[in-house]
Amino acid sequence: MANSNVTKRKREPIGLVDAKVAVDLATAQSYSENVFLFVPNIIGYTRIILAGLSLHYMSYHPKYCTAAYVVSCLLDAVDGHAARALGQSSKFGAVLDMVTDRCTTSCLLCYLCIAYPTYAIFFQFLITLDFSSHYMHMYSSLVTGSRSHKLVTSDVSRILWLYYNDSRTLFLICTGNEMFFVALYLVKWWSTPLPFDFSTVPLVGGWLVGLTYAQAIAALSAPVCALKNVINLVQLWKASKILVGVDLAERARARQEKAQ
């Protein structure tokens, strides 16, 4: 039965290309089909430039910083649509997108470590979890023959399947996660309280009085950030199990070949 399940789930392996051949192909690619110049990849480069601008302004101009950071993050939802619409999906673009996401968020979290030194270890943990879970997930996808880290089946993980296969869910969770970190950044700059009288609101009225816009946004997006990091934990655990399973399968095959 186990062998039958393995056979059913066997996927078409990725065709292997020699590294030197790949370098030569990339060097000799024509202008008409230059992967570096694909529209979604150009959007990716724009995201990097905007992220760099946000870092430049982060310590002294919160409006410019926030505008550049938010636009960079929103473009993350555009490049995928462009790739599918133009038939320009690429492995380079997928990795560029993921690396940009990880680095951009990590740079903001590094700033939050300075802004909130008491919680520095918390932000360091989030950086570590984000990088490790995505790296292991990407690697486990490659060694099992998947053509994309987003191709997760529900029998492997229903949580990851819902997360990656519903574009609306993916967008809302990623947006809410980034919104929480941006709001924490703005808390240090934004002191204008909400123009509402919450004193009559039962139970939570006293807590809401004097809350700033940034604090309100942080409070609303905090549950989404928590959910995103639960998903990161699930992703890390599932990737670890997949890699261990691959190790066990390879060791069993090696023993079988040795016995023959």
Catalytic (active-site) positions? 101
The DSSP 8-state label assigned to residue 118 in this structure reads: G
- Residue 177's Cβ-side half-sphere holds a number of Cα atoms within 13 Å equal to 26
The strand pairing partners of 212, in sequence order, are 193
Listed in order, strand segments (DSSP E) in the chain are none
Joined together, the tokens standing for residue 124 give 């360091």
* Consecutive H or E run containing 122: helix 120-143
Beta carbons within 8 Å of 123's beta carbon, 6+ residues apart:
109, 110, 112, 113, 116
Rounded to whole angstroms, how far apart are CA atoms 176 and 188? 19
* Consecutive H or E run containing 76: helix 76-86
Rounded to whole angstroms, how far apart are CA atoms 50 and 44? 10
Amino acid identity for residue 11 in this structure: R
DSSP-based three-state secondary structure for 212: strand
Whether 224 contacts 179, CB under 8 Å: yes
Whether 143 contacts 246, CB under 8 Å: yes
Q: Quickly list DSSP for 55-67.
A: HHHTTT-HHHHHH
